[in-house]
Amino acid sequence: MHAGTGMPGTPEDPTTSAPDADGTVVLGASDVARALTRIAHEIVERAKGAQDVVLLGIPTRGVTLAARLAERLAAIDPDFDPTRDVGELDVTMYRDDLRRQPTRAVGVTRLPAAGIEGKTVVLVDDVLYSGRTIRAALDAIGDLGRPRAVRLAALVDRGHRELPIRPDFVGKNLPTATSERVRVRLAEVDGEDAVLISGRSSGDAGEGRR
């Protein structure tokens, strides 16, 4: 509109950058698949069945992961419908860092038709880091209804929490330095399944923030 303007698009997300030759693969495709299968079993076990479970993916890769988990849940428990019981939760308008970032595009929030009232909501995200995204997600859920319980599933927990939040289901705990960068790549979005870590030797500016 005027000098220095810019409309929102997807802000540069460290996990979406092009493949980095320097990145070390810490999880390969089969590791990712195994982790998701394990998480699916844990969810069913913890909820004693999957009939009241609702998966809510947090964009972008959390949505993809939620869809994959849904297939696995359905395979374990036929009561779970992988199209009906999955949604996506955009937390942009609940973030506490809006004024520190370029304007973010507001994403879609889509809930199962039956809503989340009384359900066991499992939030699905790719990398768990500071916990601030999950804080925003909890606030967003609070405005959408009153689930019986909210759980958290993350493919990678890289530590460095800034809030009293911990995951219920983790694919892989990945001790990192804040200067390091963790990227989750998924076939649906990035053409391959992998978790990479980079910046291990050189002191990167703290990226991989979530």
Q: State the residues that interact with another protein by CB under 8 A.
A: 1-9, 11, 90, 93-94, 98-109, 139, 143-144
Q: Tell me the closest approach of the beta carbon of residue 201 to another protein, in angstroms.
A: 29
Nearer to another protein, 46 or 104 (CB): 104
Which contacts qualify for 191-195: CB closer than 8 Å, 24 or more apart?
A: 192/29, 193/28, 193/29, 193/32, 193/33, 194/25, 194/27, 194/28, 194/29, 194/32, 195/25, 195/26, 195/27, 195/31, 195/32, 195/155, 195/156
Q: Which ranges in 95-197 belong to alpha helices (H)?
A: 132-144, 187-190
The tokens describing 154, both together, are 């993350």
* Sheet with 181-185, side-by-side order of all strands: 24-27, 194-198, 181-185
Q: Tell me the closest approach of the beta carbon of residue 141 to another protein, in angstroms.
A: 11
Q: Tell me the closest approach of the beta carbon of residue 194 to another protein, in angstroms.
A: 26
Nearer to another protein, 16 or 51 (CB): 16
**Beta strands, E only, the chain:** 24-27, 53-57, 86-88, 120-128, 149-157, 169-173, 181-185, 194-198
Q: Tell me the closest approach of the beta carbon of residue 67 to another protein, in angstroms.
A: 18
Nearer to another protein, 25 or 105 (CB): 105
Nearer to another protein, 74 or 141 (CB): 141
Nearer to another protein, 7 or 18 (CB): 7
Going by C-beta distance under 8 Å and a sequence separation of 6 or more, which residues neighbour residue 93? 106, 140
Q: Tell me the closest approach of the beta carbon of residue 95 to another protein, in angstroms.
A: 8
Q: Tell me the closest approach of the beta carbon of residue 131 to another protein, in angstroms.
A: 17
The total number of residues shown for the chain amounts to 210
Nearer to another protein, 110 or 172 (CB): 110
